[in-house]
Amino acid sequence: MRNYMEALQHGHPMAAARMVRRERYAWPGGYALALVTTDGGVLCPDCVRDQWASVSWSHRVGCSDGFRPAAVTAECDTDEGVTCDHCSRVIFEGFSDED
């Protein structure tokens, strides 16, 4: 069974990138996925897909230009809202204890 933990355990950046491009959501759980880049940014699945050439190029040449993949992150990993650094879309809404 494939899930996002598998990608994390393998620890291969391109495996992480491929997973976000393909899966969009982590199963089990259905949490939204995003790709963390080596410069500390976050890319949404749509941008990973649209910018795939940049993602794979940056990984190949080792250039931390905002597209180089580092790891998968999932909505359940953080309580904070996360927006995509490329398109500014809200990827994770974030959780709050306040109603």
Give residues in contact with Zn ion (CB under 5 A): 44, 47, 84, 86-87
Q: Which is nearer to Zn ion, 12 or 49 (CB)?
A: 49
Among the residues of the chain, which ranges form H helices? 4-10, 13-23, 45-50, 52-61
Q: Which is nearer to Zn ion, 12 or 46 (CB)?
A: 46
* Residue 1, amino acid: M
Q: Which residues of 3-30 are buried (b: 16+ CB within 10 A; e: fewer)?
A: ebeebbeeeebebbbbbbbebeebeeee
Q: Which is nearer to Zn ion, 47 or 74 (CB)?
A: 47
User: Closest approach of Cβ 1 to Zn ion, in Å?
Assistant: 28
For 72, the token pair is 């998968």
User: Closest approach of Cβ 52 to Zn ion, in Å?
Assistant: 13
User: Closest approach of Cβ 68 to Zn ion, in Å?
Assistant: 16
